[in-house]
A and B are shown apart, each in its own frame.
Chain A
Amino acid sequence: MSGGEMLIRALQDAGAEYIFGYPGGSALHIYDAIFKQQKIEHILVRHEQAATHMADAYARATGKPGVVLVTSGPGATNAVTGIATAYMDSIPMVVISGQVPNNVIGTDAFQETDMVGVSRPVVKHSFIVKNPEDIPAIVWKAFHIASTGRPGPVVIDVPKDTTDPEILATYSYPKDIKLRSYNPAVKGNGRQIRKAASALLNAKRPIIYAGGGVIIGDGSEALTRLAKTLNYPVTNTLMGLGCFPGDDEQFIGMLGMHGTFEANMTMHHADVILAAGARFDDRVTNNPAKFCPDATIIHIDVDPASISKIIDAQIPIVGQVGSVLEDLAEAVESLKSNDAALPDAEALGEWWERINVWRASHGLDHNMAIEPDKPILPQQAIQSLYRATNGEAYVTSDVGQHQMFAAQYYKFAEPRRWINSGGLGTMGFGLPAAMGVQFAYPEATVACVTGEGSFMMNMQELSTCLQYGLPIKIIALNNQALGMVKQWQDMQYGGRHSQSTYSDSLPDFKTLVEAFGHIGFKVENGADLDSVMDEAFSPALKNRLVFVDVWVDPHEHVYPMAIKGGSMQDMYLSKITTSIQGDYM
């Protein structure tokens, strides 16, 4: 077999279903090998960045690594944003980049870029192919490294000479390779787990703070079991939404910068925090020096470097989150059955009372009835989407205000349903992400919540959607501005909207999507919101891409919002109110 054929064969053997890619000179031998087989379907995108987001979202939805194929030079550099997006959110992905032949590397050849160098800070690992016969083992290692431990993107840079159809080698796909330098932890330390179980059961004011690692580490079931055994409140990070049922009474919402009042207050006043697969991101902690002053912290993470990076953990547990949570649930159950006094029911009852006061006074359900003469609120659009999809859709989002509204108002009942760029915050992620999910689950309802700003960063993929018949539903919260930038400018820059508005030059999105062969609606009147949303998700349009352009109140801000430099309990609650320290003790 040629190197190109071996590469495709190895991808088949690694279990790849799709390759998201774009051809070019250095990748042509590989593309010829794709042409000669049927097992893997190649999806032709319109821009390499979109290919990476599709593969990324495919991985987020399925748990299996997504595969990307791009050519050298601009193909490779266009993929970098998507690689960084996957890296920040620990998403398994294998990116194959064509490269100029080995004998001209370093000569500034046409479309030459040092891809391994360019991508180095944003990959888990990378390979350069030196000889065609190395390809099967490299592919095996790439998939292994991408999908185990703390997952992440792996780049394979493939110089054109190593895929030459004239150079043949014998193909053999390895069953197992032992890497002496790579042995990620799976099981957590038993002593630490028992210590954690005891700390949890002796807590008076506990909270479970669960992040994306619970989803990636397949720990949702164990987490739910543990939370139910203890009847403790659960909060999720932006990345963790869905790892605990969003409509459960024990769920107190997302925490952090735009988290719910009750989640942030509960965190701040907790005496024991169980952090599972979460990394104390600055968007969660606010000022680390003022973070949760009374809390003992139990931190479960597969990546030792995440532990005590921002906030010191008193009980660190390194291991695969799912496995550790199972062991922890078991330890808690056995400890509890030996001591009926644990946990302290009275203290827990009081704790829930306080939490429910916080929840009742400043939950998210402000009075948001649709009023005839007032503009649609973005929150109402998300509520309408939630209703129209029975809360069962896969929802992808772009980045900005609409992302926060979706995170706050769409209650995810299951893991892997909420797909967004949390760490890197990549605008333009939403549409290609929805496509990746739709490829993974052709029958599923997939909605992309976006803003007009983010959407225009990758809207060329509407053409790809037509080519492959992807019936995605795009809900654009159109506020005719870069809403989150504008919000910060309102709050911190005296309302000077520097370069965040463009209302005089926006396209008519309905006509635009129609030009791409899809269906568009425009909603300006609140009275039409529910009916248009219902039509978009109606069986009649099940097989069509529908774009709903919802014109929302351009002045709306996202609240709560953390007050910069404060603790977690310091929040703006609206344009005119803040949580004043002490008021809600």
Chain B
Amino acid sequence: MSDSWLIKGAQVAGLGAADLLLAGGTITAVGAGVSEAGAQVLDASGLIALPGLVDLHTHLREPGREDAETVETGTRAAALGGFTAVHAMANTEPVADTAGVVEQVWRLGRAAGYCDVQPVGAVTAGLAGTRLAELGTMADSAAHVRVFSDDGRCVADPLLMRRALEYVKAFDGVIAQHAQDPRLTEGAQLNEGEISGRLGLAGWPAVAEEAMIARDCLLAAHVGSALHVCHVSTAGSAEIVRWAKSKGWPVTAEVTPHHLLLTDELAVGYDPVFKVNPPLRTAADVAELRRALADGTIDCVATDHAPHPVEAKETEWSEAAFGMTGLETALRVVQQAMVDTGLLDWAGVADRMSVRPARIGRLTGQGAPLAVGGPANLTLYDPAAPAEPVSAAGASKSRNTPFAGMALPGRVVATFLRGTPTVLDGKLA
């Protein structure tokens, strides 16, 4: 049996309905009436073909918190969500701040085989925010790290942030900042506004994010280095990124699916499944984030998939862990928030969820348009699948999805990683 695949009649951006022949890990033919040549055939009529999705922001929890997620379970969830590459964040135990840890994560990803796992290196040793981790050594390692982030914590020290931005220029690196002023968010629990005031939960002001983003944009401009802003969550943050880009500064930004759909009003029942960092904001913020993603101010959607075990969420709000899962629902949420609202077409989705995140992550072999000679990484998606309520139980080891029970449209039908299916008919292949 051949290991080549013929995908028939999928909707390809710019081409309309087309056939795609995948062989030897690459796309070998695109167009109408491509000959089967002994390939296995997948009827994709009515399905959207997207270049395999790339997530810039994933917490796989391994090593250290294998009770919440492992590279294996997390990448299964990623494949089911249509992803062919994820960036594994550095806040593991031990922290991914040495070549040893990033190489371990990279090898675990290769062994799992469900998608490419690109480790992110910590900016500061132990995420402690006091001295730089060995960034160059991680860059030179087998894991080939280019994105560095203390995500979960902010590199708050302006001098350290400046040095990090400058230093990674030597190997075309990018600093992905978790923008959160620590003093303005001491004990903070929920977006500061009407809801936090009513619920008596310590407020998390938008300015704590916006002021840090503004500072970092100025630093990036000053030293001419690449800044990527993680999980932009407020209208003001989008405005600052728009301003920085208007100056031609090397700034990129991401938004999470949950910040495109959910608001702080969901906290009224004190269910910590809605507790996340940065916090859910207001409907006005959601509208502005959607607009900024549509006009390209925000470059990409990144899940910030943050699995936690049940006991970390079955507790008082203030005791609960921050974070929500998101890999398996990301594309459906983007359809609901961006496509079904007319803000973005499918070519736009391909750009924001594959092309641009791959470019920001300096990934080769990912995020390429579906064209002859390109890598056979692709996702087949059925946007017409009836809206089904999301189940909390998925491939992720954790169940802290804020979308549980919510009806979302669409369905990921198949995912191909270098020509090999990782998902077929909505199930792991």
Does A pair with B?
A: no
